Amino acid sequence: MGVPRPRGAPSGGIWTPLALIVAALISLPVLVVTANLVTPTGEIWRHLAATVLPSYVENSLWIMVGVGVGVLAIGVSSAWLVAMCDFPGRRVFEWALLLPFAVPAYVIAYTYTGLLDVSGPVHLWLRGVLGASGPLSWYPDIRSLPGAIVLMSLVFYPYVYMLARTAFLEQSHAAIEVSRTLGCGPWRSFGVISLPLARPAIAGGLALALMEALNDFGTVQFFGVDTFTTGIYRTWLGLGQRPAAAQLAALLMLFIFALVILERWSRGARRYQNAGARFQALPRYHLRSGKAALACLVCAAPVALGFLIPAVALGIWAAGTAAETVNARFLTMATNSFLVATITAILAVVLAATLAYGLRIRQTATMTAAARVAGLGYAIPGSVIAVGVLIPFAFVDNTVDAWMRAQFGLSTGLFLSGTLVALVFAYLVRFLAISLNTVEAGFGRITPRMDDAARSLGQSRSGVLRRVLAPLMRGSLLTAGLLVFVDVMKELPATLLVRPFNFDTLATHAYEYASDELLVEASSASLAIVVVGIVPVILLSRAIARSRAGQSDGPVT
């Protein structure tokens, strides 16, 4: 490992202050919301604590445990099969397993409710088959806590799958071969070598999936499962008790802090780096008939349940209603969604790279803390972030407006809070952590010796980033962009609150229809979200495959 990287590496140039500015801006809403914690709340808070709080805690814990087990089981098993084995359909599953990424939790909830509730086709068919005259007493209600857990696992597992697959692929083949020569079979090699080596990536994916699960609003709201997010939403908007809602958010943050600490701890003090010198194409385990069929099943089930079935159902419903729902307004909404998602994704990657590079150059306590605080947005429900953005923006708007009126008799109005700037900023605050995690992991895989070599060959800090690190990290940067893009497409509560007047996205549209129990009519917007979400999933999963080490003469990720 050579000499440890010191805390006080040579001067960071512009990168240190730049990273600090980014961190400060992004953490502003978090700090604003946190500041609300110290405002005395009294009566309302005591009332909440005595009545609904225990059920919020209980439901949130069940969701964490259930979704955690679910995404690990699906994500790790499918990632290992696809990365290390060869069986019919592997190449298709490689990218198909990412497809549920395009389905937001609330969309899958709306769709399965339409399919499985008592007036849905499945129940009616069962009744017909069994000849029952009334509702079947044993028929499970999908709109329940277990239902929410299963559906969330089906759409959040790609976080684990994607990071675990990359980790399995980038593992030193030598280590696995050594373990084989030492008498480990494929199963033991997996348990003793592959899994421990991939642990940081898997833990990272799990943390992301669980944060997403805890932040879910659409599903639990629709299923009537009371969690922190629905509580915050109701307290904030319904009761208008903003400080009490902020305190609920703070409690929710404790859960997330536990996750963040778990993730950091599992990475340990050790920084896994690739051997640097050579890559080798991985020979795979060739699976035969029975095992191959089982592998196909393991990979096909999440794709079918998390994507194909809801997509087909949405397609059939949309086909029946498209004539009335797809119109010029609909196309505008689609464009709006794509636009904000693209802008946010690009900015998020740029900002994450700035922060992560600042950290790589100069790992002071301040820098580390700044990056962590900037990454906290992901922990905070979209609705709370919305408020954290709106409060300071409104303050700036009003101050500037007042000053302009006093000086020039002009009113500038709401030039920040009522605009796309506020919305994109809210998205950035919320999703920067995703791109930051990915970009940091990408940096972590490149030995600092690369920077040193480029520096000694006359490159400035910026030159190192541009000419060496960015090309090496193309896969990571694209992944970061993909994750943010898809999340913005799906984002609901922050969009509902921060969007400019008359600015509709596909997500808000689907939400409004579903709230009115117009599940079939909501299908066009839902399907469009899914379809728009698929395009980058395919494009980027291909790019990731292309830029993979040892697959071609091309560059190495």
Strands 285-286 and 85-86: parallel
Contacts (Cβ under 8 Å, ≥6 apart) of 290: none
Nearer to other proteins (CB atom), residue 451 or residue 491? 451
Residue 367 is a binding residue for other proteins (CB under 8 A): no
Kindly state whether residue 517 participates in binding other proteins, applying the rule CB under 8 A: no
Q: What is the distance between the alpha carbons of residues 485 and 54, in angstroms, rounded to a whole number?
A: 35
Q: Tell whether residue 35 is a contact of other proteins (CB under 8 A).
A: no
- Cβ nearer to other proteins, comparing 9 with 116: 9
* Rounded alpha-carbon distances, angstroms, from residue 31 to 247, 377, 539: 13, 10, 37
For other proteins, the closer CB: 460 or 515: 460
Residue from 297, 460, 515, 535 touching other proteins (CB under 8 A): that is 460
The single residue among 146, 238, 268, 471 that binds other proteins, judged by CB under 8 A, is 471
For residue 222, how far is the Cα from the chain centroid?
A: 21
Burial label for 329, CB within 10 Å (0-12, 13-18, 19+), is exposed
Considering only 103-111, 264-272, 425-433, 461-469, which stretch makes contact with other proteins by CB under 8 A? 461-469
Shortest Å, Cβ 165 to other proteins:
20
Nearest distance from C-beta of residue 19 to other proteins, angstroms: 18
Residue 297 φ/ψ region, left for φ over 0, alpha for ψ in the -120 to 50 degree band, beta for the rest: alpha
Q: 90, 138, 150: which is closest to 284 by C-alpha? A: 90
Is residue 54 at the binding interface for other proteins, with CB under 8 A as the rule? no
Concatenated DSSP letters of 249-318? HHHHHHHHHHHHHHHHHHH-S------SS---PPP-EEPPHHHHHHHHHHHHHHHIIIIIHHHHHHHHHH
Residue from 271, 459, 503, 543 binding other proteins (CB under 8 A): 459
Instruction: By CB under 8 A, tell whether 550 contacts other proteins.
Output: yes
Q: Distance between CA atoms of 341 and 485, rounded to whole angstroms?
A: 5
Contact call for residue 409 and other proteins (CB under 8 A) = no
User: C-beta of 462: minimal distance to other proteins in Å?
Assistant: 11
CB atoms within 10 A of CB 412: 15
Contacts to other proteins from residues 114-173, by CB under 8 A: none
Tell me if 55 contacts other proteins by CB under 8 A: no
The residue within the footprint of other proteins, chosen from 142, 209, 472, 483 (CB under 8 A), is: 472
How far apart (Å, rounded) are the C-alpha atoms in residues 154 and 148?
10
Task: Give 375 or 475: the residue with its C-beta nearer to other proteins.
Answer: 475
| DSSP reduced 3-state for 411 | coil
Binding of residue 462 to other proteins (CB under 8 A): no
CB-nearer residue toward other proteins: 51 or 456: 456
Does residue number 365 form part of the binding site for other proteins (CB under 8 A)? no
Any contact of residue 348 with other proteins (CB under 8 A)? no
Q: Is 269 in the site for other proteins (CB under 8 A)?
A: no
The kind and range of the H/E element at 405 are helix 382-408
Residues 6 or more apart in contact with residue 276 via CB below 8 angstroms: 447, 449
Contact characters 61-100, other proteins, x per CB under 8 A: ----------------------------------------
What is the DSSP secondary-structure string of 463-475? Answer: HHIIIIIHHHTHH
Size of the residue set binding other proteins (CB under 8 A): 35
456 in contact with other proteins (CB under 8 A): yes
- The residue range among 122-130, 158-166, 230-238, 455-463 that interacts with other proteins, by the rule CB under 8 A, is 455-463
Total length of the chain: 557
| Least distance from other proteins to the Cβ atom of residue 457, Å | 3
* Single residue of 137, 254, 409, 553 touching other proteins by CB under 8 A: 553
- How far apart are CB 460 and other proteins at their closest, in Å? 6
**Phi, psi dihedrals of residue 477, rounded to the nearest 5°:** -65, -40
Helix (H) or strand (E) holding 85: strand 85-86
SS3 (DSSP) at 550: coil
Determine which residue in the list 106, 157, 190, 279 makes contact with other proteins, applying CB under 8 A: 279
290 near other proteins, rule: CB under 8 A = no
At 34, list the tokens. 């946190």
Contact residue for other proteins among 2, 40, 131, 183 (CB under 8 A): 2
> d(Cα 238, Cα 510) in Å, to the nearest integer?
21
CB of 444 to other proteins, least distance (A): 16
| Residues at the interface with other proteins (CB under 8 A) | 2-4, 6, 8-11, 13, 276-279, 447, 449-450, 452-460, 463, 467-468, 471-472, 549-550, 553, 555-556
